[in-house]
Structure 1
């Protein structure tokens, strides 16, 4: 397994104008960022994203509203990188929890360089946690899975099944081991629940061109490379 496969980072942009959105999009590597735009964390359009990799806040020269917004972001995502643009009080924004605060009088080249640096740090932080097997990528700490570059939403039980198969990728895992790991003491011994959940997982990972979930006759299942 490797950590070389690049997955787009989820970048949340708060309070940005259309012009600011264009600035952010042009400063980040093409195809490497999944950009989400919100006016505020309390917006009704708030995306159903439990995880983000980087947050960019447009202070809009109003640090009085930016400081509490940064504090809310930091409470919700304690480890995420926060980069604020257009700050009039850099110290206050940094003390609120931002990692970067670009002054309002900074030129566009400085803003672009700061954004690129914040993105590189976010990429470095996630690359240590995300491991690839073929075109499957797993962030075990965040419990996130990507297949062929797209994030896959798994139920808690599907995720436990994927977890043990991914950790032991290439080796067969017995039926009894899978049952004990996924269900613990709650597995209905007379049911075909394991086969059902394997079929669910196969369907959700069906877009993979490099990995497959194989049945191993007389043993159990194995996450294997195609071909």
Structure 2
């Protein structure tokens, strides 16, 4: 599930985007000004940002510029949303670093199509129904996982946990970030619960002689190890 940060100060439009993008399978978080958006991206980088041009305090163009200037956020895809339709404005938005530009009012179907096109280009592991890492394959449509030719039987929570890790191999997710992405921001779950489900995921994934692809980073969280080699001894 792709996580999208919607930065929009018009409450009715923000709620409309939240509702419709949620129906399309996106994990939506909302920010109504640029300062909040920068904090949210710093805490847990989304897979894509929908960024309104006209924002209070800090403009969308400036937010885009700051995200592109930071090493940890420069590769996050950004789609600008704006009432400005002039060619020079579109050029300015794209030159600032936006991946695409949509003029208000727009149809939800066009927005979703643009988002998926950008994600396919920049985050193929998120946009595709099938994610792969080494010899592990995760099919989001059928909810099936294989390691090599072997079926891996996971519960719903372990499946979502693996899906999140496979979207960004090598990235270390903190326990708090995994709680938000797997269980949701509105659900109270003990931090220790993450460790329990990581243990279950490891038990299902690993057989004798197979290296554990889930790396524990002390005091930080968990990641899929990019140096993982199928069949290597643990």
Q: Which residue of 2 aligns with 1:59?
A: 53
Residue 113 of structure 2 is matched in structure 1 by 116
- Two-structure CA RMSD over aligned residues (Å): 4.2
Identify which of 40, 44, 58 aligns with 1:50: 44
Matched, 1:37 2:39: no
Indicate how the Cα distance of structure 1 residues 207 and 68 shifts in structure 2: closer, same or farther if over 3 A, else same. same
Shift of 1:45: 9.6
Unpaired runs of 5+ residues, structure 2, are: 133-137, 139-144, 146-151, 153-158, 184-192, 214-234
| Structure 1, gaps ≥5 residues long | 1-7, 152-199
1:148-159 alignment to 2 at 5 Å?
150=182
Alignment partners' CA distance in 2, 1:45 and 1:70: 10
Structure showing the higher strand proportion among its residues = 1
1:142 aligns with 2:171: yes
Q: Look up the match of 2:10.
A: 17
Give the 3 Å change call, closer, same or farther, for CA 85–201 of structure 1 in structure 2.
closer
Indicate how the Cα distance of structure 1 residues 116 and 18 shifts in structure 2: closer, same or farther if over 3 A, else same. farther
Higher helix share: 2
Deviations 1:177-204 (A, max 9, x none): xxxxxxxxxxxxxxxxxxxxxxx98624
Q: Is the 8 A contact 1:14 1:40 kept in 2?
A: yes
Q: How far apart are the structure 2 equivalents of 1:31 and 1:207?
A: 29
Change (3 A) 1:91 1:220: closer
Alignment partner of 1:78 is 2:74: yes
Q: Using a 3 Å threshold, how does the CA distance of structure 1 residues 221 and 45 change in structure 2: closer, same or farther?
A: closer
* 1:211 aligned partner: 204
Check conservation: 1:84, 1:101, Cα contact below 8 A.
Answer: yes
Distance 2:3 2:17 in 1: 13
Distance of 1:203 and 1:29 partners within structure 2: 28
Distance 2:23 2:38 in 1: 25
Residue 68 (structure 1) aligns with: 62
2: distance between equivalents of 1:65 and 1:45?
Answer: 12
TM-score by length of 1: 0.53
Quick one: distance in 2 between partners of 1:79 and 1:213?
32
Question: Aligned residue for 1:167?
Answer: none
Question: May I ask how many residue pairs the two structures share in their alignment?
Answer: 162
Equivalent pair of 1:84/1:102 in contact (CA under 8 Å): yes
**1:51, distance to aligned residue in structure 2 (A):** 2.2
